[in-house]
Structure 1
C-alpha cells in the first residue's frame, strides 16, 4: 500500500482544494439569493411565486447535477491510477449524459402549470411561477454541461477557474435581473419571466467560458475532448449512469424533501410560504460550505482509492468531518443568536405587510440552526462515499431518511398536531439527522462492508472505445 499523506498534509491538501469550491458554491448560490431578494422587491406574491418555481426547478436540476458529479470520482480514480485514457472518456461522456438528462428535465418543467394545478397551489401565484420556468428551462443543458466540465477541472485540483467563472456569473445575473425584471434602460418589465431569461443567459455564459478554458488550456489538450465527440462510447456512458443516477436521486430526495415542504407551506398560506423562503435561503447559504467541502472530500477519497491507499481514504474522511463540524457550529450559533438581523436582509420589518412573515421566518430559523450540524455531516459523508463509487446504498438511505421519516413527521407535526410551519421544520431536521447517522455508520465500516475492495475499482473496456 502507498504511504498516505500525514494528517497535517492531508488537512492542507483538503483545504487547498476545498476553499475555491466553497467560494464557488457561495458565488453560485448568490445567484439564487439575488433572485430571491429582487423577487422580494416585486412584492410578497412574487416572492411566494419564486418559491414555488424553485420548488419544482431546484430538485430536478439538482438531480442532474448529482448524476453528473459521477464524472468527478471517476476522473479522480483514473488520475490516481494514472489511467489518462479513462479521464478523457469519462469527461466526454459526461457531456452526453448532460444532454440526455437535460431533455427530460425540460419536458417536465414545461408541464409546470399542470403540476401546480394538481397539487392545489394558488392559481395567480402558480401562473407567475410557470412564467419563470418557461424561460429558465432553456438554461438546463448549459448548467449541466458546466457541471460535467467542472468535475474534470476539479479532479485535477484546479478549482480557482471555477471560482472566477462563478463570480463573473453573479454580475451577469444581477444585471440581467435588473434590466429584465424591472424594465430598466428601455427593456420591458417582465417580472419573474425576466428573471427566468436572466437565469438561462447566465448558465449559457458560464458553460461557454469553461468550455473555452478546457479546450484551449495546455494541460487539457492532451485529452482532446472534441476528437470523435459524436462517436458513442456506450460502456462508459452507461457506467456514468450506473454511478451517477443514484447520486442524483440521493441529492434530489434531499432537495425534494425541502421542495415538498414548500408545497406544505403553500397549504398554510402566503405568509408562511414567504417566511419559509427566507429561512430556507439562509439555511441553504450556510450549507454551501459543507457542500463545497464534500466535493473536495470526493476528490481526496477518490484519489486515495485510485492509488489503493486505505489510510489515505480514512484520513480524507476524518479531515472533512472535523472541518465541517467546526464551521457548522458557527452557523448554528449565528442562526440562534441573530435571527432578526439575518431575516431583515430579505424582509423589511418596518413594512406592515411583512410583520407576520418576518416573525414566522425568525421562528423557522431557530430550527434551521439546530439541524446545521447533521446537515453538514450528511453532506461530507455522502461525498466521502462517492469517492469510493458507493452510491446505491446511500441513495436508499436518503430515501428512507428523508421521505420515509422526515416528510411524514413534517406532515404529522404540521397538520395533525397543528404546529403548522414549525412542525414542518421539525420533521426536516429529524430526517436529516437519521440520514447523517446512517451515512456515517456506512463510511466508518467501509472495510467491513467491502466498499474498498480494489478489484472492483475501475471499469476496463477495450482501447478502441477511447
Structure 2
C-alpha cells in the first residue's frame, strides 16, 4: 500500500475542514466561555447551565443533524453545474430549517417542567429554568444559520461560516463579561446574562453570513431573489428523507451524552458540574473531527456527482487517516493534562466553595482519562458518518448508531454509573463503549458499500 496516495490529500482536506472546525469550535467556544464565567459564581450555577444546555443539546442535535442533508445535495449539484437544483435545495433547506427552529424552540420551552420530574438537585433546577427560556429562543437563529452554513459548505465555501462564528464569539464574550458580572454600568444578571449573550450573538451570526453570501459572486446567483414560499415538492421530500435520518443519527449520539448529564445529576451537583467540564473539553476536540466529517461529506458528494467511486474511496480513507492522527494527538493532550485542565473552570481562591470545587476537579480529571481513550473511536465514527452522508446513505447508518449508543452504550453507562459501582467514571465507560461500537460498525458499512459501488461500475 502506498501511503502517499492518502497523505497527498491532507493539504486540500485540511483547507476544506479547518474553517468548518473553527466554525464548529465557535459554537462550542460559546458554551466554553459561558462555563468558565458561570463557574466563577459557584458549582450550583455551573450545574444549572449544564442541566439547561442538556435540553438544548438534544434540540440542537436535531436541528444541526437535519440541516446536514443540504450539504451533499448542494455538493452534488455544484460538481454537475446544476444551478436550478442548487437554488431549489438552498430555498427548500432554508424554509425547512426555519420551520424546524420554531418547532424546536416550542418543544424546549414547554418541556421545562420535566426538570422537576428528573430528580435533579432543586437549587440547580430553579437556576436552570429562567436560563433555558432565553437560550431556547436562540434555537431559531441557530437552525437558520445551520441551513445557510450547510449550503455554504456544500459550495466548498467553508471559510465564510467560520468568519460568522468567530464574530459571534467575540460578541458573546463581551456580552457575557458585561451582563454576567454587571460591568461598566450594566446590570449584574448572573447566568441570565450568559443566556442573553448567546441569543444576541446567534442573531448577529445569521445576519452576517446571509449578507456575506448575498454579495459573493459564487453564491449570489443562488441566494438572491428567492421566492421563499414557492417550494419544490420533490426537493423538500429529498431533504426531509435525508435530513430526518441524519437528525436521528446525531440525536442518538448527543442524547447519550445528555443522558450522562442526567445520570450525573442523580449523583449530586458536584458530579454534574464535573461531567459538564469533561463534556465541554471533549466536545471541543469532537468539533475538529466534525470538520473532517464535513470535508468527507463535501468531497464524497462531489465524487458521487461524478460517479468516480474509486477516487471517492481513496479520498474518504485519506480523511480518515488524518482524523486518526489528530485524535491521537488530543488523546495524548487529555492524558498528560487531565489534572490541570479542569482547574480552568473553577475559582480555587473561593474559600466558601473550596471543598466543592476540589471535588469537581478531582472527578473531572478522572473523566478526562476516559475521554482520552474515546478520542480515536469518536473521530473514526464521525468521519465515516460524514462520508456515508456524502453518499446519501442514511437508513442503515441510523440503525447502526442506535444499536451502538442505546443498545450497548447507555446500558453500560446506567449499570456502571451508579454510586455502588464507579459513579461518574462508570457513566463515561458507557460512552466509550458506544463510540467504539459505532466506529467499528460504520467503518464496516462504508467499506462494504464502496466496494459494492466500484464493482457495479465495472
Residue-by-residue CA offset, 1:223-269 (whole Å, 9 max, x unaligned): 24433222122221121110011111111110110000100000001
Q: 1:275 maps to which residue?
A: 274
Q: 1:290 maps to which residue?
A: 289
Q: 2:400 maps to which residue?
A: 397
Task: Give the unaligned 5+ runs of structure 1.
Answer: 455-466
Q: 1:462 maps to which residue?
A: none
CA distance in 1, matches of 2:7, 2:121: 55
- What does residue range 378-393 of structure 1 map to in structure 2 within 5 Å? 378-393=381-396
CA distance in 2, matches of 1:123, 1:352: 20
Query: SS where residue 371 of structure 1 aligns?
Result: helix
Asked whether the equivalents of residues 168 and 204 of structure 2 are also in contact (C-alpha less than 8 Å), the reply is yes
Report the more deviating stretch, 320-329 or 156-165.
Answer: 156-165
- What does residue range 40-55 of structure 1 map to in structure 2 within 5 Å? 40-55=39-54
Give the CA RMSD over aligned residues: 1.9
Asked whether the equivalents of residues 91 and 226 of structure 2 are also in contact (C-alpha less than 8 Å), the reply is no
Report the more deviating stretch, 358-367 or 214-223.
Answer: 214-223
Q: Residues 189, 17 of structure 1: CA spacing in aligned structure 2 closer, same or farther, 3 A cutoff?
A: same
Report the more deviating stretch, 263-272 or 230-239.
Answer: 230-239
Query: SS where residue 75 of structure 2 aligns?
Result: helix
1:165 matched to 2:168? no
1:119 matched to 2:122? no
Report the more deviating stretch, 431-440 or 93-102.
Answer: 93-102
Asked whether the equivalents of residues 390 and 451 of structure 1 are also in contact (C-alpha less than 8 Å), the reply is no
> TM-score scaled to structure 1, two decimals?
0.93
Q: 1:155 maps to which residue?
A: 154
Q: Residues 181, 453 of structure 1: CA spacing in aligned structure 2 closer, same or farther, 3 A cutoff?
A: farther
Q: Residues 322, 9 of structure 1: CA spacing in aligned structure 2 closer, same or farther, 3 A cutoff?
A: closer
Report the more deviating stretch, 211-220 or 418-427.
Answer: 211-220
Query: SS where residue 390 of structure 1 aligns?
Result: coil
Moved runs in structure 1, 4+ residues, more than 6 A?
Answer: 451-454
Of 355, 361, 367, the residue aligned with 1:352 is 355
Q: 1:415 maps to which residue?
A: 418
Residue-by-residue CA offset, 1:131-170 (whole Å, 9 max, x unaligned): 1110112221211111111112112222222222211111
Report the more deviating stretch, 319-328 or 126-135.
Answer: 126-135
Q: 1:463 maps to which residue?
A: none
- What does residue range 12-411 of structure 1 map to in structure 2 within 5 Å? 12-349=11-348, 351-411=354-414
Residue-by-residue CA offset, 1:76-98 (whole Å, 9 max, x unaligned): 01112221211111111111111
Residue-by-residue CA offset, 1:157-211 (whole Å, 9 max, x unaligned): 2222222221111110011111222222222222222211211111110100011
Q: Residues 214, 123 of structure 1: CA spacing in aligned structure 2 closer, same or farther, 3 A cutoff?
A: same
Deviation of 1:452 after TM superposition, in Å, equals 9.7
Deviation of 1:415 after TM superposition, in Å, equals 2.0
Report the more deviating stretch, 13-22 or 364-373.
Answer: 13-22
CA distance in 1, matches of 2:58, 2:454: 28
CA distance in 2, matches of 1:176, 1:453: 56
Task: Give the unaligned 5+ runs of structure 2.
Answer: none
Asked whether the equivalents of residues 91 and 225 of structure 1 are also in contact (C-alpha less than 8 Å), the reply is no
Q: Paired residues, what number?
A: 450
Of 437, 441, 451, the residue aligned with 1:438 is 441
CA distance in 2, matches of 1:421, 1:110: 29
Deviation of 1:417 after TM superposition, in Å, equals 5.3
> TM-score scaled to structure 2, two decimals?
0.94
Deviation of 1:348 after TM superposition, in Å, equals 4.2
CA distance in 2, matches of 1:449, 1:58: 36
Asked whether the equivalents of residues 90 and 223 of structure 2 are also in contact (C-alpha less than 8 Å), the reply is no
Asked whether the equivalents of residues 141 and 206 of structure 2 are also in contact (C-alpha less than 8 Å), the reply is yes
